[in-house]
Structures are given as structure tokens and as C-alpha cells.
């Protein structure tokens, strides 16, 4: 990714299934032979799917806080391991390596969010996660990390640098497995305007609902699709909807029986 490209930041809702989502993203980016920096805590790297993480990372640079650096290198076979004292220091170390892509396991505090925004403003593709329930709350969460007197500038920076938000909820399938239900926000002009203006930020969910042309979809729209495909039951879908009333209306319009 050239430094002259549009600034980028992509946030992923930090819900169950995050590791699998990261694997898919890393695998896709790995095909482009980009210089990637991963900033993640040790316990999130050494899970049951360490082999898939290894394959996805390839020769990415790994930056993190590890108790046993040699073990990390042996398992992941990553070039360039940096032993640091804390998460923010790891992110700063990653920036010094001038990567194309920075993956931050989770935005935990104000300084980490600030560093992520600064990295995005300088042309890096930044991917990270937050503990939120939907795309609109993700925007609000980033802004709320900062004191009120800084929030206007943060809104402007986020509106300029955000590429998209992907939120996910795992729903039981009819065959006993689990499938992700997604909410996807793409930062169009209408979305950016609502990020900048606190009085209209709550309208983001309506923009997503009407944004199918740009690849946007709400949780409820995705869940309705899963019901129509026969992937999930109505009862299980109802447990994951954002608005039960609106979802029931959508089911009626689609000709699906609404449970009593």
C-alpha cells in the first residue's frame, strides 16, 4: 500500500470469532506480500488455532509483550520480534518499522486509540477491535475514549481515516454449528458527515440500512437472510437481533411467520 493512498482504519467488533476473522484478513493481506505488524497480547496468539495463525502471518513482523520470546519465534516463525514493556510501547515499536498494515489486537485505552488514528492518518492500514455491540456504538466508543474538549478533532480524524467497521455475532445453526451474523459499515460521505456531527451520529444505523449498494448491511438484515436460507431458526435469530420490533416487521414483509 503506497503512503499516498487514502488513509485507512478498519475496526472489527471484538466478539467471539475474532481470531477466525483475523485469520481470514491476514490470509488475504498475505497474498499481497505487504509488510505487516501485529500488536497483540500473548494469550491471544497461542490459542488452539496457532497453526492457522502461523500460515496467515507468514513473514510478518510480530510486535508484542511476551514472557518467552524464544517460544513465540519458534511457534510462529516470525521475523523481527520486539520485546517491550506494555501494549502502547509495542504499537510505537511497530510504527518505527514503517509497516504497510498494523493489526492492533484491541483498542484498550486513549493513548492506543490516539496512536492508531495517527498511524491511519499517515497512510497505514490499521485493523483493530473494540468491545461494542454494533457499528454505531463502535464509533461512539472511539470518540468517548477522549475528553470532551478533544472530541471534535477526534470526530474529524475518524471521519477522514475510517474505511469500515465489521461487527459480528455468532448464532447457532439448525445443524448444530454456529454461523456469524454481520453488520458492515462502509465509510461513505453520508457516514462521514454523521461521524463529524454528534447530533446526527445516531442516524448511522439508518445509513447502513439503506447502504446495500456500498456493501453495507445491518445485523437484522443479515439475520433475515440467514432465516430465508434456512441456516438458522427464527428462535435463534431473535436472540441476536438489534431491534425485535423492527425485525418482526421485516419478517412479516418477507412472508415469514412471527412467533407468538
**What pLDDT digit, counting tens, does each position of 129-163 carry?**
888 899 999 999 999 999 999 999 999 999 999 99
**CATH label of the domain that carries residue 21:** 3.40.50.300
Q: Same domain for 115 and 192?
A: no
pLDDT value at position 76?
Answer: 32
pTM: 0.79
Residue 113 lies in a domain: yes
Residue 142 lies in a domain: no
pLDDT value at position 86?
Answer: 58
Q: Same domain for 181 and 256?
A: yes
End-to-end CA distance of the chain: 52
Residue 136 lies in a domain: no
Residue 137 lies in a domain: no
Weakest-pLDDT range from 94-98, 192-196, 234-238: 94-98
Q: Same domain for 69 and 175?
A: no
Residue 213 lies in a domain: yes
Q: Same domain for 15 and 125?
A: yes
Q: Same domain for 184 and 258?
A: yes
Number of domains in the chain: 2
Please state, rounded to an integer, the average pLDDT across all residues of the chain: 76
Residue 148 lies in a domain: no
Domain that holds residue 171: 166-260
Q: Same domain for 82 and 205?
A: no
Residue 155 lies in a domain: no
What digits encode the pLDDT tens for the residues 19-40?
Answer: 677 667 766 766 665 666 666 6
What digits encode the pLDDT tens for the residues 43-76?
Answer: 444 333 333 333 334 433 444 433 333 333 222 3
Residue 260 lies in a domain: yes
Residue 4, pLDDT above cutoff 70: no
Q: Same domain for 124 and 4?
A: yes
Amino acid at each position: 500500500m503506497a503512503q499516498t493512498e487514502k488513509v485507512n482504519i478498519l475496526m472489527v467488533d471484538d466478539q467471539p470469532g475474532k481470531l477466525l476473522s483475523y485469520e481470514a484478513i491476514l490470509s488475504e493481506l498475505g497474498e499481497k506480500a505487504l509488510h505487516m505488524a501485529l500488536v497483540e497480547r500473548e494469550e491471544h496468539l497461542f490459542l488452539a488455532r496457532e497453526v492457522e495463525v502461523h500460515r496467515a502471518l507468514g513473514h510478518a513482523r510480530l510486535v508484542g509483550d511476551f514472557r518467552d520470546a524464544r517460544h513465540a519465534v519458534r511457534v510462529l516463525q516470525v521475523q523481527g520480534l520486539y520485546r517491550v514493556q506494555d501494549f502502547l510501547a509495542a504499537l510505537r515499536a511497530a510504527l518505527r518499522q514503517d509497516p504497510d498494515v498494523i493489526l492492533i489486537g484491541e483498542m484498550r485505552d486513549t493513548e492506543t486509540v490516539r496512536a492508531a488514528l495517527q498511524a491511519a492518518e499517515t497512510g497505514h492500514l490499521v485493523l483493530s477491535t473494540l468491545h461494542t455491540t454494533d457499528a454505531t456504538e463502535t464509533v461512539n466508543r472511539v470518540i468517548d475514549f477522549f475528553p470532551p474538549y478533544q472530541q471534535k478533532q477526534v470526530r474529524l480524524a475518524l471521519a477522514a481515516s475510517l474505511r469500515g467497521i465489521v461487527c459480528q455475532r455468532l448464532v447457532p445453526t439448525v445443524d448444530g454449528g454456529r454461523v456469524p451474523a454481520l453488520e458492515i459499515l462502509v465509510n461513505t460521505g453520508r457516514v462521514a458527515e454523521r461521524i463529524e456531527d454528534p447530533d446526527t451520529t445516531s442516524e448511522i444505523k439508518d445509513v447502513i440500512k439503506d447502504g446495500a449498494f456500498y456493501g453495507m448491511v445491518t445485523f437484522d438484515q443479515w439475520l433475515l437472510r440467514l432465516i430465508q436460507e434456512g441456516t438458522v431458526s427464527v428462535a435463534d435469530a431473535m436472540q441476536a437481533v438489534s431491534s425485535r420490533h423492527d425485525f418482526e416487521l421485516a419478517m412479516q414483509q418477507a412472508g415469514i411467520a412471527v412467533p407468538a
